[in-house]
């Protein structure tokens, strides 16, 4: 898969997980496992990019005498999911065209 396309999909997948409720890094990695493998070294830069873009916010909560960072989706993040879903219809048309044209190849 093209790295730019994958990057965008990872971001939207993370935002989608956060749309179900606030979460923290390790939990996000576990929750995304059914569809893709995501390492900490991939996840945290994505979370920082999403925070810088205003798509999520970060806050800390004490857990077992340590601070755990939680991530929460913003309205901008929800809009980003909606935009992705709207654009996906166009991507699907292109995919269907390519598949149809190459079906006889």
Put simply, whether the predicted model's pTM sits higher than 0.95 gets the answer: no
pLDDT at 104 over 60: no
CB 38 within 8 A of CB 59: no
CA distance 63 to 80: 30
Greater pLDDT, 103 or 52:
52
pLDDT at 105: 56
Report how far apart, in Å, the C-alpha atoms of 37 and of each of 29, 56, 60, 91, 102 are. 8, 22, 25, 23, 30
Average of pLDDT values for 97-102?
A: 93
pLDDT digits (tens, 9 = 90+) for 27-41: 999 999 999 989 999
Mean pLDDT, the chain, whole residue set: 92
Domains in the chain and their CATH numbers? 3-103 (1.10.10.10)
CA distance 103 to 12: 30
């Amino acid at each position: 898969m093209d790295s730019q396309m994958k990057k965008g999909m990872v971001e939207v997948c993370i935002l989608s997980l956060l749309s179900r409720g606030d979460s923290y890094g390790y939990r996000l990695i576990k929750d995304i496992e059914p569809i893709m493998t995501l390492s900490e070294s991939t996840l945290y830069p994505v979370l920082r990019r999403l925070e810088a873009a205003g798509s999520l916010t970060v806050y800390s909560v004490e857990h077992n005498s340590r601070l755990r960072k939680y991530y929460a989706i913003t309205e901008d993040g929800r809009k980003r999911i909606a935009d992705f879903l709207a654009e996906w219809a166009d991507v699907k048309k292109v995919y269907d065209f390519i598949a149809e044209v190459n079906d006889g190849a």
